[in-house]
């Protein structure tokens, strides 16, 4: 599963401002977040608008670019703003429109608050935002903190690396959980070890070959090293190693991953 992330607004001076500039800071966050996600094995597309001249153009541009990508989730990075500057901290929040993503939005807000030591304003259901209404996949808007709160700005600068790591790790966990749910039995979403059983004779016509493949798959240490090699080479994502550790990697998965690794070499 892939992810698309965009920076809200279209450069310095185009968003909220106060103790920091939203349009400028969102670009920096998206760039660092994109790198962090790639390091974690998540396929990500980052979008930064360098051409719009108005908010209307910017929103249309971002929605169009998001919808043109292959992805399972849309994320837009923003910073919030209150009516007036204030010394006190205001906090972080995550906006959504699709009710099914509410628990994830709550989790994201909680993790950002923890990483940045912000007040947690939680997940907010919003039905009047162009980005959330225009994108065709599940989507969230992350409002990291308030640009005109002196305390928020101070905490953000002190904890920026932890905040970006918190966002990246929460996204990685979301994709891992989604992947496991897709492979779980309808009666349960708990990952259960998958026993090695005889493969369909129509899939492997040679009994000797079938036995050999099963012998290879039963050598857990060898399989683990092979999966690690595939991850290092970029043949597939780390979530396959995590599925192996959870006992949910099937023999069919292993054969397909072996083919991808061979192709990469």
For residue range 202-249, what is the model confidence (pLDDT) as tens digits?
Answer: 456 777 787 788 888 888 888 888 888 888 888 888 888 877 776 777
How many domains are there within the chain?
2
Task: Please determine, for residue 30, whether its predicted confidence score (pLDDT) is greater than 80.
Answer: yes
- Cβ neighbours for 170, distance < 8 A, ≥ 6 positions apart: 107, 108, 111, 112
Residues 177 and 228 in one domain: no
pLDDT of 182: 54
Which residue, of 149, 181, 213, is where some domain finishes?
181
Interval 160-193: pLDDT, tens: 999 999 999 999 999 888 765 555 544 443 444 4
Q: Are residues 43 and 97 in the same domain?
A: yes
Please name every residue paired with 43 in a beta bridge, in sequence order, or none if there are none.
Answer: 2
Q: Among 165, 181, 197, give the residue marking a domain's end.
A: 181
Residue 189 is predicted with a pLDDT of 39
Q: Are residues 236 and 111 in the same domain?
A: no
Q: Provide the pLDDT for residue 167.
A: 99
* Cβ atoms of 114 and 166 closer than 8 Å: yes
Predicted local confidence at residue 246, as pLDDT: 66
Same domain (yes/no): 29, 105 = yes
Shared domain check, 174 and 53: yes
Give the pLDDT of residue 211: 78
Q: Which domain holds residue 173?
A: 2-181
Question: Which pLDDT tens digit goes with each residue over 110-168?
Answer: 999 999 999 999 999 999 999 999 999 999 999 999 999 999 999 999 999 999 999 99
146 and 167 together in one domain: yes
**Crossing angle of the two packed helices 251-264 and 207-218, in degrees rounded to 10:** 90
Q: How much is the pLDDT for 203? A: 57
Shared domain for 33 and 76, answered yes or no, is yes
Shared domain check, 165 and 249: no
121 and 152 part of one domain? yes
Residue 197: predicted pLDDT: 42
Domain stops at, among 129, 156, 181? 181
């Amino acid at each position: 599963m892939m992810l698309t992330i965009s920076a809200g607004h279209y450069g310095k001076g185009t968003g909220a401002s106060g103790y920091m500039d939203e349009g400028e800071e969102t670009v920096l966050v998206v760039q660092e977040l994109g790198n962090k996600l790639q390091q974690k094995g998540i396929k990500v597309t980052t979008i930064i608008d360098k051409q719009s001249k108005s908010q209307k153009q910017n929103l249309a541009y971002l929605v169009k670019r998001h919808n043109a990508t292959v992805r399972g989730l849309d994320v837009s990075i923003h910073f919030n703003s209150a009516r007036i500057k204030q010394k006190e901290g205001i906090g972080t929040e995550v906006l959504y429109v699709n009710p099914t993503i509410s628990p994830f939005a709550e989790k994201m807000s909680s993790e950002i608050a923890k990483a940045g030591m912000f007040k947690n304003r939680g997940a907010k259901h919003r039905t009047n935002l162009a980005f959330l209404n225009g994108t065709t996949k599940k989507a969230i808007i992350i409002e990291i903190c308030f640009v005109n709160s002196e305390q928020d700005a101070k905490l953000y600068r002190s904890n920026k690396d932890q905040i970006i790591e918190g966002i990246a790790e929460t996204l990685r966990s979301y994709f891992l959980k989604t992947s496991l749910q897709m492979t779980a039995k309808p009666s349960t979403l708990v990952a259960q070890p998958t026993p090695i059983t005889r493969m369909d004779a129509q899939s492997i016509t040679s009994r000797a070959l079938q036995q050999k493949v099963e012998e290879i798959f039963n050598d857990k240490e060898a399989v683990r090293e092979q999966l690690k090699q595939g991850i290092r080479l970029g043949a597939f994502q780390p979530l396959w190693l995590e599925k192996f550790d959870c006992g949910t990697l099937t023999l069919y998965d292993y054969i397909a991953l072996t083919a991808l690794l061979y192709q990469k070499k």
